[in-house]
Structure 1
Amino acid sequence: MDRHQDTLYLRIADQLAGSIRAGTLARGERIASVRELARQQGVSMATVVQAYRTLEDARLIEARPRSGYFVAGRAARRLPEPDTTPLPSQSQPVAVSSMGSRVFTMALDPDFVSFGAATPGEELFPYERIRRAVNRAAQRHRATLSRYPLGSGTQELRRAIARQALSMGCQLDTRDILVTGSCLESVSLCLRAVTRPGDVVALESPTYFGFLEILESMHLRALEIPTHPRQGLSVDALALALDTQPVKAILAVPTLSNPLGSSMPLAERRRLAQLVAQRGVPLIEDVIYNALCEHDDQRRAVRSYDDSGHVMLCGSFSKTVAPGLRVGFVAPGRWSDQVQRLKAVHSGAHTEFLELAVADLLTQPGAESAYRQLRTTVAARVDEARGIIAESFPRGTRVTDPPGGFILWVELPAGSDSMALFEACLRERICIAPGTMFSTTGRYAHCVRLGLGGRWEDAQRRALRRVGELAHLVLPAAGGEA
Structure 2
Amino acid sequence: MNYRYQQLADELVEQIYAGLYRAGERLPGVRSLSEQRGVSVATAVAAYRQLEDKGFLDVRDRSGFYVRPWAQTRSIDTPVETSATGPCEISGQELAMAMIKAANEPGILQLGAAVPEVRFLPTRDVERAIGRVLREQRHTVANYMMPPGAPELRRQIARRLAEAGCQLSPHEVVITNGCQEALMLALRAVTQAGDTVAIESPAFYGLWHVLESLNLKAVEIPSHPERGISVDTLGFALDRWPIKACVLVPNFSNPIGYCMSDPHKRTLIDLLDARGVTLIEDDVYGDLGFQVRRPSLCKGLSPNSDIISCGSFSKTLSPGMRVGWILGGRHHRRIEQLKYVSSIATASLPQLAVADLLESGRYERYLREIRLTYASAVARMSEAITRYFPAETRMTQPQGGFVLWVELPEDVDSIDLAQRALQKGVSIAPGPLFSATGKYRHFMRISCARQWDERLEQGLKALASLL
TM-score range relative to shorter protein: 0.7 to 0.9
The equivalent of 2:60 in structure 1 is: none
Residues 1:291 and 1:74: Cα distance change in structure 2 (over 3 Å): farther
The equivalent of 2:279 in structure 1 is: 283
2:439 to 415, 440, 443: 443
| CA-CA distance at 1:44 after TM superposition | 6.0
Q: Check if 1:269 corresponds to 2:265.
A: yes
| CA-CA distance at 1:167 after TM superposition | 3.7
Given that residues 124 and 374 in structure 1 are in contact (C-alpha distance below 8 angstroms), is that contact kept between their aligned partners in structure 2?
A: yes
Given that residues 388 and 465 in structure 1 are in contact (C-alpha distance below 8 angstroms), is that contact kept between their aligned partners in structure 2?
A: no
| CA-CA distance at 1:307 after TM superposition | 3.0
Given that residues 209 and 438 in structure 1 are in contact (C-alpha distance below 8 angstroms), is that contact kept between their aligned partners in structure 2?
A: yes
Aligned residue type for 1:172: L
Given that residues 149 and 351 in structure 1 are in contact (C-alpha distance below 8 angstroms), is that contact kept between their aligned partners in structure 2?
A: yes
The equivalent of 1:81 in structure 2 is: 76
Q: Secondary structure at the residue paired with 2:311?
A: strand
For residues 259 and 97 of structure 1, the distance between their equivalents in structure 2, rounded to whole angstroms, comes to 17
The equivalent of 1:99 in structure 2 is: 95
Residues 1:71 and 1:166: Cα distance change in structure 2 (over 3 Å): farther
For residues 461 and 366 of structure 1, the distance between their equivalents in structure 2, rounded to whole angstroms, comes to 33
For residues 211 and 151 of structure 1, the distance between their equivalents in structure 2, rounded to whole angstroms, comes to 23
Given that residues 84 and 221 in structure 2 are in contact (C-alpha distance below 8 angstroms), is that contact kept between their aligned partners in structure 1?
A: no
Tell me the alpha carbon deviations over residues 1-34 of structure 1, each in whole angstroms, 9 at most, x when there is no partner. xxxx9xx9899859985884375537xx9x74xx
Question: How do 1:394-413 and structure 2 match up within 5 A?
Answer: 394-413=390-409
Tell me the alpha carbon deviations over residues 334-392 of structure 1, each in whole angstroms, 9 at most, x when there is no partner. 11111111111111122223211101112223332311222211211211111111122
Q: Secondary structure at the residue paired with 1:202?
A: strand
Aligned residue type for 2:237: A
Q: Check if 1:363 corresponds to 2:359.
A: yes
> More displaced, 301-310 or 197-206?
301-310
| CA-CA distance at 1:40 after TM superposition | 3.3
The equivalent of 2:252 in structure 1 is: 256
Given that residues 25 and 67 in structure 2 are in contact (C-alpha distance below 8 angstroms), is that contact kept between their aligned partners in structure 1?
A: no
The equivalent of 1:477 in structure 2 is: none
Given that residues 318 and 326 in structure 1 are in contact (C-alpha distance below 8 angstroms), is that contact kept between their aligned partners in structure 2?
A: yes
Given that residues 429 and 446 in structure 2 are in contact (C-alpha distance below 8 angstroms), is that contact kept between their aligned partners in structure 1?
A: yes
Unaligned runs of 5+ in 2: 58-63
Given that residues 70 and 379 in structure 2 are in contact (C-alpha distance below 8 angstroms), is that contact kept between their aligned partners in structure 1?
A: yes
Aligned residue type for 2:38: V
Residues 1:361 and 1:106: Cα distance change in structure 2 (over 3 Å): farther
Percent of aligned pairs with the same amino acid: 35
RMSD: 3.1
2:389 to 375, 381, 393: 393
For residues 127 and 412 of structure 1, the distance between their equivalents in structure 2, rounded to whole angstroms, comes to 35
Aligned residue type for 2:312: S
| CA-CA distance at 1:180 after TM superposition | 0.6
For residues 257 and 433 of structure 2, the distance between their equivalents in structure 1, rounded to whole angstroms, comes to 16
TM-score by length of 1: 0.85
Residues 1:181 and 1:243: Cα distance change in structure 2 (over 3 Å): same
For residues 14 and 410 of structure 1, the distance between their equivalents in structure 2, rounded to whole angstroms, comes to 23
> More displaced, 223-232 or 295-304?
295-304
Q: Check if 1:40 corresponds to 2:35.
A: yes
Q: Check if 1:294 corresponds to 2:295.
A: no
Given that residues 431 and 445 in structure 2 are in contact (C-alpha distance below 8 angstroms), is that contact kept between their aligned partners in structure 1?
A: yes
The equivalent of 1:134 in structure 2 is: 130
The equivalent of 1:191 in structure 2 is: 187
Question: How do 1:427-438 and structure 2 match up within 5 A?
Answer: 427-438=423-434
| CA-CA distance at 1:313 after TM superposition | 0.6
The equivalent of 1:322 in structure 2 is: 318
Tell me the alpha carbon deviations over residues 399-434 of structure 1, each in whole angstroms, 9 at most, x when there is no partner. 111012110111112232112211221221111111
The equivalent of 1:145 in structure 2 is: 141
Q: Secondary structure at the residue paired with 1:318?
A: coil
Tell me the alpha carbon deviations over residues 172-221 of structure 1, each in whole angstroms, 9 at most, x when there is no partner. 21111000111010000010010001100101101111101110011000
1:243 to 239, 242, 245: 239
For residues 108 and 11 of structure 1, the distance between their equivalents in structure 2, rounded to whole angstroms, comes to 35
Aligned residue type for 2:154: R
Unaligned runs of 5+ in 1: 63-68, 472-482
TM-score by length of 2: 0.88
Residues 1:345 and 1:71: Cα distance change in structure 2 (over 3 Å): farther
For residues 257 and 140 of structure 1, the distance between their equivalents in structure 2, rounded to whole angstroms, comes to 39
Tell me the alpha carbon deviations over residues 226-268 of structure 1, each in whole angstroms, 9 at most, x when there is no partner. 1001111111211221111100111010011111111112111
Pairs aligned (count): 448
Q: Secondary structure at the residue paired with 1:111?
A: coil
Given that residues 274 and 306 in structure 1 are in contact (C-alpha distance below 8 angstroms), is that contact kept between their aligned partners in structure 2?
A: no
The equivalent of 1:179 in structure 2 is: 175
